[in-house]
A = this chain, B = another copy of it.
Amino acid sequence: MLMRDPQAVVGRRVEELDTPALLVDLDAFEHNLALMARFFAGRPSHLRPHTKTHKCPAIAHRQLAAGARGVTCAKVGEAEALAADGIDDILIANQVVGPIKIARLIALAGRARLTVAVDDAANIAELDRAARAAQVTLSVLVEVDIGMGRCGVQPGQAALTLAQQVAGCRGLHLAGIMGYEGHLVFTLDPEERRTRVEQALAPLLETKSLLERYGLPVETVSGGGTGTYDVTGSYPGMTEVQAGSYIFVDARYRQVRPEFRPALTLLTMVISRTQPGLLITDAGLKALSTEFGLPEVLGIPGAALKPLSEEHGKIALADPAACALRPGDKLQILPSHCCTTVNLHDVFYAVRGGLVEEVWPITGRGRCQ
């Protein structure tokens, strides 16, 4: 039974799926895909969707077909999973450090066009040595910290110093710079968000100008997320936006980005109802993430999840008499954080009109190395 074939449910009704199961509403998904494609269609900047959200080559191929310029991921393991499915222009928007990971990176560089972020001189030297030894050329973006306080060097001189080092490495190609305004993606007020994002991007683009004054070409200036795609994608000089969550939009992003439609839900089943006011379901912390707050119960007015157990959800009903659900009945939950919820599952069930149209393996699931 370990090898049950998920594809066997294609054509079945959603209610016939075993639970918990991740559902992708294809109409909402295609709305999101098309809306983002339209936004970038008339602009000098490009979409390079972050695949950390879905970890799924089937979705990445659809994003590329809709006009995306390559894809983004966070780990070498995710890049391996994408390349194994024929995706060949991959930005690892993260530092790749140490001999084991660099060996994997270089092995992969023979099979896909890879770009990585750097923010450390010793790491640059190590990447260069490995690339030269394997006779490959690795593209590199110097990461600039534009206020998030995570990875990246400071704008200006520190970035210039690293860019000059990269430019002097025969195994590396200086592709440009990168900065992520991750501290601003959930700013609720659109005007405040625009103002703060533009303030954050200004030093990134000044760094681009500085590098160019020193004769270093900067083809790529990459950054942005779903919360900031419109501001960042319109900002003069930005060439790429790494938005990921737009494709699903969870309970949290829905507040920031109402133009996208929630496309990802979890199908769960009532397994116990011994108290009229409580539904116990089969989806707990091993099926839904909660770091962005509790997921939302769909379709039952006034119903709310209580803190999750590992394998149980507990839904408090506002009006027990109005809810006829019994053990065996199914309902849907809107995740509060799509990216970490997806990482708990192995497949998406892509549904339309209540039927399963396709099953998409999440081949990047768990690939945190």
A binding-site residues for B, Cβ under 8 Å:
1-2, 16-21, 52, 74-75, 80-81, 84, 94-95, 97-98, 100-101, 104, 107-108, 119-120, 122-123, 126, 145, 149-154, 158, 182, 269-275, 278, 280, 282-287, 289-291, 307-312, 314, 326-328, 339-340, 343-346, 363, 365-366, 368-369
Output the nearest chain B residue to A101 by Cβ-Cβ distance.
Answer: B18
CB distance from A23 to the nearest CB of B (A): 14
Pick 29 A–B contacts, CB within 8 A, sort by A: A1-B107, A1-B108, A2-B80, A2-B81, A16-B100, A18-B100, A18-B101, A18-B369, A20-B369, A52-B310, A95-B280, A95-B327, A98-B328, A120-B326, A122-B328, A123-B327, A126-B328, A149-B275, A150-B272, A150-B280, A154-B274, A284-B368, A285-B340, A286-B366, A310-B339, A343-B344, A344-B366, A365-B366, A366-B366
- Of A1, A153, A270, chain B has the most CB atoms within 10 Å of the CB of A1
CB distance from A86 to the nearest CB of B (A): 13
Contact A310 B269 (CB under 8 A): no
- Which residue in B151, B286, B326 is a CB contact (below 8 Å) of A122? B326
A interface majority secondary structure: loop
- Which residue in B104, B286, B312 is a CB contact (below 8 Å) of A340? B286
CB distance from A3 to the nearest CB of B (A): 9
Contact A274 B153 (CB under 8 A): yes
